[in-house]
Structure 1
Amino acid sequence: MPRLALYTFGVLKSPLADPGPLTREFYERGEAVYRKISQHPGYLAHAEAPDGDRGVLFDADWGAWGEFAVPTWYGKGRTAETTALATTLSLWTGLRPAFDAIYTGVHREALNRRYDWFERTGHPNHVFWWVSDGVIPTWQDGVSRLEHLHDHGSAPRAFTFQHSFSPDGTPVKVSGVRPKSDQIR
């Protein structure tokens, strides 16, 4: 049975190593969000570096999730001291469980604060695509899909909640989702 892959990417206003209160708050919220989402029905897994320290993304061993990659338009740092990004790569059983996890509870609260932490880049900040059972998407897959979404809009290869597709490529609506632009910012 196909599974839903989700890649998210955002450029932070401050590097991950910044000791300031906004960065500290971002981490605290992020830890609470991960704990809650990992217990959500329909959540399967997410990319996690076993030995990852704060800000160490580019040199971490991500195992089956592949070598860490970022979109070509990311122009900030790539060291533990200068990296200014937040990104996730996860697997879900379907669109409805992912939507419910993302737009309710602690994650919804965090989304309401996103512009305190993230720059507005003019690029989409998430992308979905379907993968076959047993396939682990890679960071490069996520980057490729996000860039495809930016360049071409929603299609079965790369889509958003607002313009979703079933595993066979048929357009589908997720109840509760209001139509917006293809490119979520």
Structure 2
Amino acid sequence: MPHLALYTFGVLKSPLAGPAPLTREFYDIGEAVYREFSQHPGYLARAEAADGDRGALFEADWGAWGEFAVPAWYGKGRTVETTALATTLSLWADLRPAFDAVYTGLHRDALNRRYDWFERTGHANYVFWWVSDDVIPTWQDGVSRLEHLHDHGSAPHAFTFHHSFAPDGSPVKGPIE
């Protein structure tokens, strides 16, 4: 049975390593959000750096998730001191469990505060696509799907909750809500 891949990407208002209180607050709650997600029904896995250091995104060993990549329009730093982004790559059993996890609990609270932490870029901040159950999506897969979504809108290749597709490519009737 296919799995649902989810890539998220946001540009923070200040670097993760910086002293800005709001950005630090965002960084500090991240682990609690990840713990909550990992216990959610339908959650399968997420990309984690082998050494566990979330600050060294570009230099980290991501194993089967591939070399770390970001969209072409990201123009901020790429060192531990200058990186100003938040991104995830995860696998889910289906759309409904992913929707429920994103829009409930700690993550929902964080979404309500996203404009405190993130710049408004004019780009989509997440994208879904289906993968075979034996495939681990890569960071580059996520980047290319997000860029495709931005350039072409939702399609079976890259879609959102509100314009989603089944594994066979057929549109899901009505938005997932």
Are 2:157 and 1:157 equivalent residues in the alignment? yes
Shift of 1:21: 1.5
In structure 2, runs of 5+ residues without a counterpart are none
TM-aligned CA distance change 1:174 to 1:111, over 3 Å: farther
SS in 2 for 1:88: strand
How many residues are paired up? 177
Q: 1:106 maps to which residue? A: 106
Asked whether the equivalents of residues 95 and 174 of structure 1 are also in contact (C-alpha less than 8 Å), the reply is no
Asked whether the equivalents of residues 17 and 80 of structure 1 are also in contact (C-alpha less than 8 Å), the reply is yes
Q: Structure 1, residues 127-180: CA drift from partner, whole Å, max 9, x if none? A: 000000110000000000000000000000000000000000010046653xxx
In the superposition, the TM-score normalised over structure 1's length comes to 0.93
In structure 1, runs of 5+ residues without a counterpart are 178-185
Are 2:66 and 1:66 equivalent residues in the alignment? yes
Alpha-carbon distance between aligned partners in 2 of 1:16 and 1:152, rounded to the nearest angstrom: 31
Shift of 1:52: 3.8
User: What are the within-5 Å matches in structure 2 for residues 87-126 of structure 1?
Assistant: 87-126=87-126
CA root-mean-square deviation: 1.1
TM-aligned CA distance change 1:54 to 1:42, over 3 Å: closer
Q: Structure 1, residues 37-60: CA drift from partner, whole Å, max 9, x if none? A: 010000000000021434210010
Q: For residue 168 of structure 2, what is the amino acid of its counterpart?
A: D
User: What are the within-5 Å matches in structure 2 for residues 71-82 of structure 1?
Assistant: 71-82=71-82
Q: 2:13 maps to which residue? A: 13
Moved over 6 A (4+): none
Identity, % of aligned positions: 84
Alpha-carbon distance between aligned partners in 1 of 2:10 and 2:100, rounded to the nearest angstrom: 21
Q: 1:180 maps to which residue? A: none
Alpha-carbon distance between aligned partners in 1 of 2:173 and 2:95, rounded to the nearest angstrom: 10
